[in-house]
Amino acid sequence: MTPAQQEGQRRLEALRRRAHRIRVWVAGAAIAVFLAMFATVYVQMAAGHDPALAGSPATAVISAATTDDDTGAEVESTAGADSSASSSQVAPMTTQQS
Amino acid sequence: MTEAGDTFACFGAKAGVRVLGDAEEATAAQAVRDARDTLLDLHARFTRFDPGSELSRLNADPRESVRVSTMMALFAEAVVSVAAYTGGLVDATLLGAIERAGYRSDLRGSVPLPLAIGLAPPRRPARPRPSAAWEAIGVDRLTHTITRPPGVGLDSGGLAKGLFADVLGEHLAGHASFAVDCAGDLLLGGRDGIVRRIDVADPFGGPVRHTFPLASGGVATSGIGRRSWLDADGRPAHHLLDPSTGRPAFTGIVQVTAIAPTALEAEVRSKAALLSGPERAEAWLPDGGVVVFDDASHVVVAAAASSAAA
């Protein structure tokens, strides 16, 4: 192997090692990012704040009350509400004029 | 785990407290009892229908500066803050006007809403008073002293109920879940973020108008359907006044339910939305709400993307 070939091989190996380090770093970073995102979502879900159920801006105009449950009331889940940790242990509340 | 709860007469209506789970400072049942006692005590101190209450004595006091309890000072601060926040639209210094309109005792009855709507004057949004008394109120937090021009009286109304719910909420936050109901003004919360169903009552006496889930935050409903009467001239009257005229406001809205981070804010938003009229009501409901109009139709306003109560 000529000196030029030896130098070329050395550079290739260096490049390979560098590429390997990059692959390891990228894989590690990807795992880290995934774990961070998963942990965030997990904590949010565990705390009862499901991002998928977060409200979106919308206005529903109803000219007459429609009903869809046993209370005879329409159900709306976008008004600053969190529906991921509901419990039958707690009683419903009524807001009304006083 | 079973939820402890109690419902009792308070604020001229029904109040209630529900608590799930024990906290370090109290069991759920103890917390309910304490909350009930607190609300009844606050009602006794803040009612304007008892001349011996702290509020009545403050309103009757001829001195410019009066030392009051911590809670009364807090209420006075709330009166000023709320008026400033709403540009004077929600004004708790209209005591003289509400008494002149005929609301001098604890009214339990009401004029049927369709009749009141039929007899009401032309609809118009309410406006602030040009010279507002609330601007002259000062509160010294250190000495609990309220300073105001003689003759300026405070009406506890709904603002006090919202404030009381928020104060109680501070004490109940360590429980898994709680709900305070100050005669329709609600505060929900608790360490576990448990969602509760909220029913919005129909002002016309029909079935529940709307239902939504909420884990924490305030909910309040203001309207012209309760505590209403016909005055000496046969005109329909109620307790929500147009500050610019001192007369009951008929804006085209009969009820507003507002959601907000606190019960006091919810109370303010619901009143401001109703007084603003149909064109501008929605702007007062950034965390959502329900608006019911004279013709019995309603609009459900969802939370804006940049705002969330829970």
Tens-place pLDDT, residues A56-67: 333 333 333 333
Number of C-alpha atoms within 13 angstroms, CB side, residue B92? 26
Residues of B in contact with A97 (CB under 8 A): 184, 201, 203, 221-226, 255
Q: Enter the tokens of residue B92.
A: 């708790």
What is the per-residue pLDDT for B70?
95
Q: Which of B185, B214, B173, B217 is nearest to B19 (CA)?
A: B173
- Interface touch B299/A60, C-beta < 8 Å: yes
Chain-chain contact of A93 with B299 (C-beta, under 8 angstroms): no
- What is the reported pLDDT for B79? 96
pLDDT of chain B, 310 residues: tens digit per residue: 899 999 999 998 999 999 999 999 999 999 999 999 999 999 999 999 999 999 999 999 999 999 999 999 999 999 999 999 999 999 999 888 888 887 877 777 789 999 999 999 999 999 999 888 899 999 998 999 999 998 899 998 889 999 999 999 999 999 999 999 999 899 999 999 999 999 999 999 999 999 999 999 999 999 999 888 898 888 999 989 999 999 999 999 999 999 999 999 999 999 999 999 999 999 999 999 999 999 999 999 999 866 644 4
Q: What's the pLDDT band for A54 if we cut at 50, 70, 90?
A: very low
Say which of B194, B297, B303 has its CB closest to residue A78: B303
Higher pLDDT, B53 or A74: B53
- The reported pLDDT for the residue numbered A75 is 42
**What is the predicted pLDDT for the residue at A59?**
37
Buried b (16+ CB within 10 A) or exposed e, B188-212: bbbebbbbbbbbbbbbeeeebbbbb
Identify the pLDDT of residue B10: 95
Mark yes or no for CB contact A90/B219 under 8 Å. Answer: no
Instruction: Please judge whether A96 and B221 are an interchain contact, meaning their C-beta atoms are less than 8 angstroms apart.
Output: yes
Please give the backbone phi and psi of residue B147, each rounded to the nearest 5 degrees, phi first. -115, 130
CB proximity under 8 Å: B 26-55 to A: none
Q: Which of A61, A62, A69 is opposite residue B211, by nearest beta carbon?
A: A69
pLDDT of residue A66: 35
Rounded-to-integer distance, Cα B296 and Cα B196, Å: 26
Quick one: which of B212, B209, B307 has its CA closest to B254? B209
Q: Nearest-CA neighbor of B34 among B192, B180, B177, B156?
A: B180
Contact between B246 and B97 (Cβ < 8 Å): yes
- Please give the residue that has the higher pLDDT: either B46 or A17: B46
Helix (H) or strand (E) holding B273: helix B263-276
Which residues from chain A sit within 8 angstroms of residue B198, using beta carbons? 92-95
Q: DSSP assignment of B234-267, as one string?
A: S-EE-S-EETTTTEE---SEEEEEEEESSHHHHH
pTM of the complete model beyond 0.90:
no
Contact B209 A49 (CB under 8 A): no
Q: Which of B247, B244, B177 is nearest to B213 (CA)?
A: B177
Amino acid type, A13: E
pLDDT at B306: 62
Question: What is the predicted pLDDT for the residue at B8?
Answer: 97
Which of B237, B216, B68, B43 is closest to B138 using CA atoms?
B68
Mutate to test the interface with A, among B113, B197, B222, B267 (most CBs of A within 10 A): B197
Query: What angle do helix axes B157-172 and B28-46 make, rounded to 10 degrees?
Result: 150
Q: Per the CB < 8 Å rule, is A95 touching B288? A: no
Distance CA(B278)–CA(B155), nearest Å, equals 26
Q: Is B224 helix (H, G, I), strand (E, B) or coil?
A: coil
ipTM of predicted assembly, 2 dp:
0.90
The burial of B30, by beta-carbon neighbours within 10 Å (0-12 exposed, 13-18 middle, 19 or more buried), is given as middle
